[in-house]
Amino acid sequence: MTSLHIETSRHPIDDPRYVRQCREDFDKAGALVLKDFFSAGAIAQIVSASAPLERDAFYANSTHNVFLTASDPRLPRTHPFNQQVTSSKGLIADDEIPDNSPLRDVYNDGSFRGFLCAVLGIDQIHPYADDLSSINVHFAAEGHELGWHFDNSSFAVTMLLQAPESGGIFEYVANVRDADAAEMAFERVTAILDGITPVDRLDFSPGDLVLFRGRNAMHRVTPTEGAVTRMLVVFAYNDQPGIGLSESALTTFYGRTA
């Protein structure tokens, strides 16, 4: 049975025709925004439960290159490997999400997982094996941003929970590189960092489900402006069972390993 928190009248995720259309749209654009996927009541419940946790979130403020790799001192400072951008956010981990949260209900829902598999074109998806990574809520208060980067994973599943007064805009350039072919597209990356290349924006509102392929698409979230914190949930899955983050990765992202 599909979760009651999903607006199935608008998004019949068990209907093969609807699923096929979603997959076609996603394959064509590399991004899919499903408007009002969660009910308004579910969003209100999630925000009410999550907002008090913002002060206890783990905050990270780091610099990195767009490839999320180490810099290379053998190359010029202007090379993309050595150009640093800033990312800053707070987050609460899976073990801090209440057991009765609509987030957990939907994340574990069989119909939802089947829908994601069909749209993503994979056979199965599984939760993370560690206790922290499966469901995360991100907080971006005023001035917080995500710098330009490529994802290491092949897909991301997110939902905005609370929009800021201004800023917090998702910008991207599709098909910048071909990671599978080890083509890093340094010239194109430099043009984006220099503000020469036009960028696209992905518009979404609280309650919209967003699927995005970010491995070859360079993307960022602009700084939050105003007193209202931008809140976003990340539903993280793997296409293989038993996979968890390493202890070093857990420490980096969450400040703890359990």
pLDDT in tens, 101-158: 999 999 999 999 999 999 999 999 999 999 999 999 999 999 999 999 999 888 999 9
Tokens for 215, please give them.
Answer: 């491995």
CATH number at residue 25: 2.60.120.620
Which pLDDT score is estimated for 185?
96
Q: Tokens at residue 223, please?
A: 């700084």
Overall average pLDDT of the 40-60 stretch: 95
pLDDT exceeds cutoff 70 at 38:
yes
**Does residue 125 belong to any structural domain of this protein?**
yes
Alpha carbon distances (Å) from 172 to 86, 159, 212, 221: 16, 17, 10, 9
pLDDT of residue 253: 84
Q: Is the pLDDT of residue 95 over 70?
A: yes
For residue 8, tell me if it sits in a domain: no
Residue 69 lies in a domain: yes
Q: Answer yes or no: is 254 within a domain.
A: no
In a domain, 258, yes or no: no
What average pLDDT does the segment 63-92 reach?
94
Per-residue pLDDT tens for 197-253?
Answer: 999 999 999 999 999 999 999 999 999 999 999 999 999 999 889 988 888 878 888
Q: Report the b/e string of 149-188 with b at 16+ CB within 10 A.
A: bbbeeebbbbbbbbbbeebbbbbbbeebbebeeeebbeeb
The pTM (predicted TM-score) of the whole model is 0.94
DSSP 100: T
d(CA 14, CA 67): 37
Q: How many domains are contained in the chain?
A: 1
Compute the distance between CA of residue 51 and CA of residue 157 in angstroms, rounded to an integer: 21
State both tokens at 112: 């939802």
Range of the domain at 203: 16-239
